[in-house]
Amino acid sequence: MKLLQTFALTATVAAAAAFGASAPARAEGKTITLCWAAWDPANALVELSKDFTAKTGVNMKFEFVPWPNFADRMLNELNSKGKLCDLMIGDSQWIGGAAENGQYVKLNEFFDKEGIKISDFMPATVAGYAEWPKGSPNYWALPAMGDANGWTYRKDWFSRPEIREEFKKKFGRELEVPKTQEELKDIAEFFQKRVIDGKTVYGAAIFTERGSEGITMGVTNALYPFGFKYQNPKKPYDMQGFVNSDDAVKGLEFYKALYKCCTPPGYSNGYMQEGLDAFKSGQVALQMNWFAFFPGLYKDPNVGGDRIGFFVNPAQKEKGSQLGGQGISVVAYSPNRPEALAYIKWFASLDTQKKWWALGGYSCHKGVLNDPNFKNTAPFAADFLVAMDQVVDFWAEPSYAQLLLAMQKRVHDYVVADQGTAKGALDGLIVDWTKVFKEDGKL
Amino acid sequence: MTDQTGLSGLVDRAAMVTPPVVARRARGLSERAIAWLFITPTMLLLLAINIFPLIWTIRLSFTNYRANRPNATVLDVGLANYQSILTDPDVWAAMTVTARFVFWSILIQTVLGFTLAWLIDKKFRGHGLWTTLILLPMMLSPAVVGNFWTFLYQPQIGLFNYVISAATGAPASSFQMLAQVPLAPWAIVIVDTWMWTPYVMLICLAGLRSIPDYIYEAAEVDRASPWRQFWSITLPMALPFIMLAVLFRGIENFKMFDMVNLLTGGGPGSTTEVASITLKREAFEKWRTGYSSAFAIILFVTVFGLANIYVKALNRVKNR
């Protein structure tokens, strides 16, 4: 019996190996499932994937989960060795855990065999979405959806003469896109509780969500420009004087001040969707959100078109934007590995990447991004390039969830619940993170 | 002599109460075999879904197992998880939040529930309609209630704020029920009270209706005042029912998760982070399976122990 099993297994492996890249031609009627979050780019991917089906005969099914439940649902799927997903567009922070636990297929050999050059993709996205360990040439995903935290503003309000005049009188400069974090706060304060067209409006919708990753993704957007660093560049996991540096303290205090002065009432648990709702309903002048939503916002009949403007997260002491985005991986438990790999091969091609960007997805391919005309393809395209050039990512360690939840708690306690000081919150964060790294044997 | 203990004793007793006509041999099966045949699936199901997970959780609570790291070596850590939980200030903070929430919600629900039951028991005109209306919130799913109240509490457009504003004269947007540290716990108590007071009312109503009329008639003959009747007859005789309602709501509120998760997610900060939210974070977000198993056992023992003490008190009241 065991001999029979061994033979069957060997035959299957051999068949799969032989199947390889030519799989699609023989895969008529097969169906693979792609798992991702339920948001605008996912709809674009459904549209794009029709080409894959037309070309290969492999049908596509999609499992999209709303962002607040995405990590819970998908990490459960991976941890239980589920076969639901053949392809996973998972969060960038999952790469470490998924690689170490054998949940994603390592793609190096496949890339070599199929002539897919990882160097064709933007280095920041390769580092953020594909590599583990970071800085090593081990690839567990193909950069799929480039993303960073940016800002939208009400261009139509900014251009009103009476508002511009009042702003100039108050601040001694023109009301323009902010160049620094302090300028951003000035603008938010200026609009806070202002009556525009008979309606009271507010300054800014920023990330304050407690449950998943919201406030961390928002607060880091202020911390990086003020000088926060995760660790000593010369000594990994040495956080003292970096996480809680004087500049980092100023950054955290700034975010709290921005929350207190300039958000709509009751905005204590807002993330992507709440920000979109606040902006689309004309409640706020500024909105922090991911570039991924900008194509949809630009098309919005109420606030899009000429009424909306975009800008990169402003610098303060230095530049920095929180990295978002994801890579696409083949799930190790997938029974349809050849078809899933064929999808990766198809997705990596320049033609597909061009169409991906045209449909509203953010390609990470240099062939798309370095095109001289790229900046003119969308009103936010130029800002996207700038943002991707200054991105910083949260810890991508296998224990990222523990690290993330510790920061969620410390920061929310300080910013929203008014407990303790910024220095105390960051000192506490070092204690929490040190404990996690010790448990992991990193310290 | 038949063994009356354990599973075998249970089967024997089941066989003894089997009616003779059924107890005859069917298709060559003995009475005992037939009894086993009927009982076994239930026992297996019970073992599979209740006993096995409990034993497995206890086992995991002594390890450093993490469900998201199948390749990592699982080590026995003895009582380290328990020690870590019992000395963790965050856990104690969550337990304090839970205790406060349980205390206030039970107190308010019991007073309101009993008062409503007492009023409904008067059988005034249209009392049936009022009973149905009062019971409606209890019929809704917690998910619906959570989302519904999130809108009601919305500072700019929520109806709750307009009502409070009309009553107090303060601006509507000044009550940020889910966003302000002092108000957020009360926001949850209000929703839980709105939803579950009818349940307490139903149990209290059953208690009030169980009091025989002749006792009140005797009290009338003795010229006892309505106040005296309430303190000497109504309240003492309904007390076991009230205590039962407190027991049920206490156990439920100790485990409260859905409503808090939907309304505040534990925030602002950690103001409303009850024990079940902390447990969920440890188990399914941080994936500290061994640690969270120990936490679950501690919560189970706490609820089980308190409920047992309470049931003893309840029995004493009933037997008075």
Least confident of A220-229, B114-123, B311-320: B311-320
Both A71 and A118 in a single domain?
A: yes
pLDDT of residue B164: 87
Q: Which domain holds residue A132?
A: 31-148+323-392
Co-location of B179 and B120 in the same domain? yes
- Is residue A2 scored above 90 in pLDDT? no
The pLDDT of residue B11 is 53
**Residue at a domain's end among A268, A289, A322:** A322
A10 falls in which pLDDT band (50, 70, 90)?
very low
pLDDT tier for residue A25 given thresholds of 50, 70 and 90: very low
pLDDT at residue B80 is higher than 60: yes
Would A128 be classed as within a structural domain?
yes
Residue A94 domain flag: yes
Residues from chain A that touch B68, judged by Cβ atoms under 8 A, are 75, 78-79, 97, 101
CATH code of the domain in which B103 resides: 1.10.3720.10
Those residues whose C-beta lies under 8 Å from the C-beta of residue A32, and which sit 6 or more positions away, are: A58, A59, A60, A61, A86, A87, A334, A336, A339, A340, A343
Between residues B168 and A43, the one the model is more confident about: A43
Per-residue pLDDT at B24 = 53
Q: Categorize the per-residue pLDDT at A325 as very low, low, confident or very high, splitting at 50, 70 and 90.
A: very high
Q: Assess whether A187 and A277 both reside in one domain.
A: yes
CA distance A388 to A124: 7
Min Cα separation B42/chain A (Å): 28
pLDDT for position A4: 41
| Cβ neighbours of A265 in B, within 8 Å | 155-156, 173, 176, 179
Same domain as B145, residue B21: no
Tell me, yes or no, whether B15 lies in a domain: yes
What is the tally of structural domains in chain A?
Answer: 2
Q: Do B270 and A413 touch (CB under 8 A)?
A: yes
CA distance A13 to A10: 5
Q: Check CB contact of B271 with chain A, cutoff 8 Å.
A: yes
Nearest-CA neighbor of A128 among A404, A442, A438, A389?
Answer: A389
Residue B69 in any domain: the answer is no
A317 lies in the same domain as A388:
no
pLDDT in tens, A104-124: 999 999 999 999 999 999 998
| Together in a domain, A58 and A203 | no
User: Band of the pLDDT at A424, cuts 50, 70, 90?
Assistant: very high
Residue B18's domain spans which residues?
A: 2-60
Residue B2: pLDDT band by 50, 70, 90 thresholds?
Answer: very low
Instruction: State the CATH number of the domain containing residue A96.
Output: 3.40.190.10
**Is B19's pLDDT higher than 90?**
no
Of the listed ranges A169-173, A247-251, A363-367, B70-74, the one predicted with least confidence = B70-74
Q: Residues A59, A31: contact at Cβ < 8 Å?
A: yes
B68: in domain? no
Highest mean predicted confidence (pLDDT) among A57-61, A64-68, A399-403: A57-61
> Which has more pLDDT, A28 or A170?
A170
| pLDDT band of B8, cuts 50, 70, 90 | low
- Mean pLDDT, residues B57-86: 93
> Do both A189 and A125 map to the same domain?
no
Percentage, residues of chain B above pLDDT 70: 91
Q: Is residue B229 part of a domain?
A: yes
Q: Is A232 exposed, middle or buried (0-12, 13-18, 19+ CB in 10 A)?
A: middle
CB atoms A409 and B270 under 8 Å: yes
Say whether both A205 and A278 belong to one domain.
yes
Domain assignment present for residue B73? The answer is no
Greatest extent of chain A over all pairs of C-alpha atoms, in Å: 87
Q: Does A14 have pLDDT greater than 60?
A: no
Nearest Cβ partner for A265 among B69, B155, B271? B155
| pLDDT tier at B171, thresholds 50, 70, 90 | confident
Q: Is A431 left (phi over 0), alpha (psi -120 to 50) or beta?
A: alpha
Mark whether B128 and B174 lie in a shared domain: yes
Residue A86 has pLDDT above 70, yes or no: yes
Indicate whether A210 and A294 sit together in one domain. Answer: yes
> Under DSSP, is residue A91 helix (H, G, I), strand (E, B) or coil?
strand
Global confidence as pTM:
0.86
Q: Which amino acid is at B68?
A: N
Q: Are residues A205 and A297 in the same domain?
A: yes
Answer whether B81's CB lies under 8 Å from B294's CB.
yes
Please check whether residues B228 and B267 belong to one and the same domain: yes
Are B191 and B238 in the same domain? yes
Q: Lowest-pLDDT range, A146-160, A322-336, B13-27, B279-293?
A: B13-27
Domains: count for chain B:
2
pLDDT in tens, A278-323: 999 999 999 999 999 999 999 999 999 999 999 999 999 999 999 9
Clarify whether residues B92 and B46 are in a common domain: no
Same domain, A328 and A313: no
Does any domain span residue A439?
A: no
Report chain A residues whose CB lies below 8 A from the CB of B90: 409
Percent of chain B with pLDDT over 90: 73
Contact predicate A284/A204, CB 8 Å: yes
Judgement on whether residues A303 and A336 belong to the same structural domain of the protein: no
CA B87 to chain centre: 27
Mean pLDDT for chain A overall = 92
In terms of domains, do B132 and B275 share one?
yes
Supply the mean pLDDT for chain B. 89
Taking CA B147 as the corner, what is the angle to CA B145 and CA B153, rounded to the nearest 5 degrees?
Answer: 95
Average pLDDT over residues A329-357: 97
Contact B286 A405 (CB under 8 A): yes
Both B222 and B137 in a single domain? Answer: yes
Residue A16 belongs to some domain of the structure: no
Higher local confidence (pLDDT), A440 or A141: A141
In this structure, is residue A416 part of a structural domain?
no
Report chain B's C-alpha Rg in angstroms: 26
Shared domain for B105 and B204, answered yes or no, is: yes
* Residue scoring higher pLDDT (B58 or A212): B58
How far apart, in whole angstroms, are the C-alpha atoms of residue B163 and residue B166? 5
pLDDT in tens, B172-210: 777 889 999 999 999 999 999 999 999 999 999 999 999
pLDDT of res. B13: 61
> pLDDT confidence of B62, banded at 50, 70, 90?
very high
- Is pLDDT at B248 greater than 70 in this prediction? yes
CB contact under 8 A, A211 and B266: yes
Q: Which of A296, A322, A348 is the last residue of a domain?
A: A322
Residues B155 and B56 in one domain: no
pLDDT band of residue B16 (cuts 50, 70, 90) is low
The last residue of one of the domains, among B25, B45, B60, is B60
Q: What is the mean pLDDT of residues A14-24?
A: 42
pLDDT at B125: 82
Per the domain annotation, does A209 fall within a domain?
Answer: yes
Residue B21 has pLDDT above 70, yes or no: no
Residue A343 covered by a domain: yes
User: Are B99 and B31 in a shared domain?
Assistant: no
Q: In this complex, is the C-beta atom of B71 within 8 Å of any C-beta atom belonging to chain A?
A: yes
A127 exposure class (CB count in 10 Å sphere: 0-12, 13-18, 19+): middle
What six digits make up the tokens of B83?
A: 């020690």
- For residues A214-237, give the mean pLDDT: 97
- Residue B128 is predicted with a pLDDT of 85
Interface A-B: count of C-beta contacts within 8 A: 92
Does a structural domain hold residue B75?
A: no
For residue B213, being part of any structural domain is answered with yes
Within 13 Å and on the Cβ side, how many CA atoms surround B111?
A: 5
Residues from chain B that touch A209, judged by Cβ atoms under 8 A, are: 265
Residues B35 and B87 in one domain: no
- Residue A411: closest CA among chain B residues belongs to which residue? B269
Element (H or E) spanning A151, and its range? strand A149-154
Q: Given an 8 Å threshold on Cβ–Cβ distance, is A418 in contact with B264?
A: no
Whether B156 and A265 lie within 8 Å, measured CB to CB: yes
Whether residue B268 and residue A268 make contact (CB cut-off 8 A), yes or no, is: yes
Determine which of B285, B288, B289, B292 to mutate to test the interface with A (most A C-beta atoms within 10 Å).
Answer: B285
**Bridge partners of A149?**
A290
- Facing A266 at nearest CB: one of B69, B154, B286: B154
The DSSP bridge partners found for residue A33 are: A61
Asked if residue A357 and residue A270 are part of one domain, the reply reads: no
Find how far residue A230's CA is from the centre of its chain. Answer: 18
A199 and A127 share a domain? no
On whether residue A294 sits in a domain, the answer given is: yes
Check if B268 contacts A (Cβ < 8 Å).
yes
Does residue B199 belong to any structural domain of this protein? yes
> What is the pLDDT confidence band of residue B15, given thresholds at 50, 70 and 90?
low
